[in-house]
């Protein structure tokens, strides 16, 4: 893609295009070339050979459903910025390492295959998507019992991560997935901190505790604060201060002014997470497991 100078000289760098356009062409899942010749890309274009049905395009990876029914996660290519492309592959290596470290667990997606050369990760397909979209679409029909079960299962998943010295660093409803039986599994570890490593992800505004230091090492308490906001969403169907501008939310958090949870199920543990009064994900799980269901009310 780069122009070439005189013999013996390195290719001269080309200016990064204002817009990078990805052009998808159908391919095969076994690594073989597509049945027809790929078009020659113009400057600013990247030809991407698909592996299956497109699901979503994330910040660092493309998710597709293979003909086998499994999901393949491919690092986003970008030949115009090799450092960015390298980072995307590193995130996938970290994610694969975390999955391998945890192994098989009912609250973590099952890994089918890991290709070290392409950095493509194949995992089970979770047909009910993520909690954010599912709750947005079905909020009025969700029972208190199901919301409590999701909160418990999410806490179990987080306790598993922390047990293996993984700090997620970007907990939100979009990272908790639902299987065919509406059981929760926690995913997306590419930006995490493993055994004290520097993370590449940070919590979103409403999931980030006041005083968060971007330059400080990640700690388990970062995830625990985020978890309070997660339970709030599960129980209410809304993010904390959803209608308030993000910079105003930060100001409210700074003075320890959080949404009123006095009438919200699991409000006690939500507030304890926000006020950083819980010491571990296991404590949150134990608290939720101790919940008593009376009629349609969940008392903590």
Residue 149 belongs to domain with CATH number: 1.10.510.10
Average pLDDT, the chain: 90
pLDDT mean over 248-272: 97
CA-based Rg of the chain, rounded to a whole angstrom? 22
Instruction: Give the pLDDT score at 297.
Output: 44
* 155 and 292 assigned to the same domain: yes
How does residue 3 score in pLDDT terms, banded at 50, 70 and 90? very low
Instruction: Give the pLDDT score at 28.
Output: 63
* 51 and 172 assigned to the same domain: no
* 115 and 161 assigned to the same domain: no
* 152 and 268 assigned to the same domain: yes
DSSP states of 190-212: TT-EETTPPPS----GGGS-TT-
Non-local (6+) Cβ contacts of 192 within 8 A are 94, 95, 98, 161, 166, 167, 168, 169, 170, 199, 201
The domain boundary, picked from 123, 153, 179, lies at: 123
Domain carrying residue 225: 131-299
Q: What pTM, to 2 d.p., does this model score?
A: 0.87
Instruction: Give the pLDDT score at 263.
Output: 96
* 86 and 186 assigned to the same domain: no
| pLDDT of 235 strictly over 60 | yes
Non-local (6+) Cβ contacts of 137 within 8 A are none
* 110 and 172 assigned to the same domain: no
Q: How far is CA 75 from CA 88, 188, 190, 261, in A?
A: 5, 13, 10, 40
* 172 and 62 assigned to the same domain: no
pLDDT digits 0-9 by tens, 209-220 = 999 999 999 999
| pLDDT of 13 strictly over 90 | no
Tell whether 12 is covered by a domain: no
The domain boundary, picked from 123, 157, 190, lies at: 123
The total number of structural domains that make up the chain? 2
The share of the chain scoring above pLDDT 70, in percent, equals: 88
* 158 and 117 assigned to the same domain: no
pLDDT digits 0-9 by tens, 92-117 = 999 999 999 999 999 999 999 999 99
* 284 and 197 assigned to the same domain: yes
How does residue 281 score in pLDDT terms, banded at 50, 70 and 90? very high
Tell whether 4 is covered by a domain: no
């Amino acid at each position: 893609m780069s122009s070439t100078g005189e013999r013996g000289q390195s290719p001269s760098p080309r200016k990064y295009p204002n817009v990078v356009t990805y052009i998808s062409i159908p391919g095969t899942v076994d690594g073989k070339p597509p049945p027809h010749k790929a078009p020659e890309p113009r400057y600013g274009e990247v030809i991407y050979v698909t592996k299956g049905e497109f699901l979503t395009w994330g910040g660092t990876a493309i998710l597709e459903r293979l003909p086998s029914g499994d999901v393949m996660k491919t690092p986003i290519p970008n030949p115009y910025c090799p450092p960015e492309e390298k980072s995307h592959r590193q995130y996938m290596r970290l994610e694969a390492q975390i999955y391998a470290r945890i192994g098989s667990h009912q609250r973590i997606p099952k890994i089918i295959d890991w290709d070290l050369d392409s950095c493509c990760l194949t995992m089970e397909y979770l047909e009910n998507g993520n909690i954010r979209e599912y709750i947005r679409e079905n909020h009025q029909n969700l029972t208190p019992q199901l919301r409590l079960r999701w909160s418990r299962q999410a806490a179990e998943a987080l306790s598993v991560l922390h047990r293996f010295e993984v700090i997620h660093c970007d907990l939100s409803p979009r990272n908790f997935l639902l299987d065919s039986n509406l059981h929760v599994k926690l995913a997306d570890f590419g930006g995490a901190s493993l055994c004290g490593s520097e993370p590449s992800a940070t919590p979103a505004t409403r999931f980030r505790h006041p005083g968060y230091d971007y330059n400080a090492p990640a700690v388990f308490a970062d995830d625990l604060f985020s978890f309070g906001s997660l339970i709030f969403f599960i129980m209410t169907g809304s993010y904390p201060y959803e209608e308030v501008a993000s910079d105003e939310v930060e100001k409210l958090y700074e003075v320890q002014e959080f949404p009123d949870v006095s009438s919200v199920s699991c409000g006690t543990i939500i507030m304890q997470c926000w006020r950083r009064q819980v010491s571990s994900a296991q404590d949150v799980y134990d608290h939720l497991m101790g919940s008593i269901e009376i009629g349609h009310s969940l008392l903590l």
